[in-house]
Amino acid sequence: MTRSDVLISADELLTRMADSPAPRLLDVRWTLPKPDGSEDFAAGHIPGALYVDLDTELADHGSTDPTAGRHPLPSPEAFQETVRSWGIDADTEVVVYDDNSALGAARAWWLLRWAGLSARVLDGGLSAFRDAGGTLETGPTPEVTPSSLEISPGKLPVIDAEAAADFDGVLLDARAGERFRGETEPLDPQAGHIPGAKNAPATDNVPAGTFLPEALLQERFEELGALDGPVGVYCGSGVTACHNALALATLGIEPSLYPASWSGWSSDPSRPVETGA
């Protein structure tokens, strides 16, 4: 896998939108302070895009087990129905985007890849599309004809808490430094990180809104020791960890995702906690 397999530029997207069929566009408008992005979507989105609700379509909130984390992965059956509702077939070109440096879009990208489908993320998101001359449309998500696609789940590696505890490689924590160090924890039961993990804030992949050039991403992950062997990724709830997985995929690296992440780990009192840098 190369960078062009993972990311698409706004200029290329505009060209592809003029083709027939055009790509299926998925708008994952989501942030922690405002998880429901439907109003923002309705106020302006790329023409033809479908709004994707991360909390309900890209996560399973039916679990009562706190160690499953705040954003457990949807079941294969549920995600298959979601993908079908987007009108996606096996040969559909899919582009996902958001307006938050791909922090939400990366989750959709990861799940689609996990399901055995191809997808790319719009580098720079909505801002890059506008800057390239693209115009937005308003209104609710359009209706599409559902597909009958059969997904192939399990195409990307996933680890559980036991595997994360004994991970034979580099475990990267995508949260901000102050949460990793345990100086603050606004969301989860305990502050700190999984012992032995290294801090790799997802936002450092996109300091100016677009992904760092390949050489700089290579340098970033090389300094973290993430290019020499197995890599695992986690975050607070398994969402922004997908951003590090996306960045690593541009370098041809396929990391393992710990979906429950810190929210699941810190809910288990038997799990050790480490603080500091």
Q: CB of 233 within 8 A of CB of 241?
A: yes
Q: What is the CATH number of the domain that holds 90?
A: 3.40.250.10
Question: Across all residues in the chain, what is the average pLDDT?
Answer: 97
pLDDT confidence of residue 63:
76
Q: What percent of the chain has pLDDT over 90?
A: 97
Instruction: Domain of residue 81: give its range.
Output: 3-131
31-35, 36-40, 200-204: range with lowest mean pLDDT: 31-35
Q: How many residues are listed for the chain in this entry?
A: 277
169 and 122 co-located in one domain: no
Residues 185 and 118 occupy one common structural domain:
no
Q: Apex CA 7: angle with CA 3 and CA 12, to 5°? A: 115
pLDDT of residue 254: 97
- Shared domain check, 118 and 7: yes
Is there a domain that residue 43 lies in? yes
* Per-residue exposure over 85-117, b if at least 16 CB sit within 10 Å of its own CB, e if not: ebbbeeebbbbbbbbbbbbbbbbbbbbbbbbeb
pLDDT of 252: 97
Does residue 8 lie in a domain region?
Answer: yes
Catalytic residue among 235, 239, 251, 257, which?
235
Maximum CA extent, the chain: 55
Same domain as 261, residue 194: yes
Q: Are residues 72 and 117 in the same domain?
A: yes
On the question of pLDDT at 267 being above 90, the answer is yes
pLDDT in tens, 173-184: 999 999 999 999
Same domain? For 72 and 21 the reply is: yes
Residue 273 lies in a domain: no
**Residue 210 binned pLDDT confidence (cut-offs 50, 70, 90):** very high
pLDDT attached to residue 141: 93
249 belongs to a structural domain: yes
pLDDT at 209: 94
| Mean pLDDT in residue range 185-190 | 95
Q: Rounded to whole angstroms, how far apart are CA atoms 181 and 61?
A: 28
Tens-digit pLDDT profile for residues 222-260: 999 999 999 999 999 999 999 999 999 999 999 999 999
Residues 46 and 127 in one domain: yes
Residues 181 and 64 in one domain: no
Look at residue 1 in the predicted model and tell me its pLDDT.
86
Q: Does any domain span residue 227?
A: yes
d(CA 264, CA 262): 5
| Model pTM above 0.85 | yes
Q: What is the pLDDT of residues 48-96, one digit of tens each?
A: 999 999 999 999 977 789 999 999 999 999 999 999 999 999 999 999 9
For the chain, the domain total comes to 2
Q: What is the DSSP letter of 124?
A: T
- Residue 259 has φ and ψ, to the nearest 5°, of -60, -40
Q: Are residue 85 and residue 194 in the same domain, yes or no? A: no
Residues 124 and 167 in one domain: no
Residues in Cβ contact with 98 at an 8 Å cutoff, skipping those fewer than 6 apart? 27, 28, 29, 30, 37, 104, 105, 125, 126
- In this prediction, residue 54 carries a pLDDT of 98
Q: Is residue 61 part of a domain?
A: yes
Residues 56 and 117 placed together within one structural domain of the fold: yes
Q: Give the residues across from 106 on adjacent strands.
A: none
242 is catalytic: no
Is residue 80 assigned to a domain? Answer: yes
> Domain for residue 198, yes or no?
yes
Tell whether 186 and 120 lie within a shared domain: no
Phi (first) and psi of residue 94, to 5 degrees: -120, 135
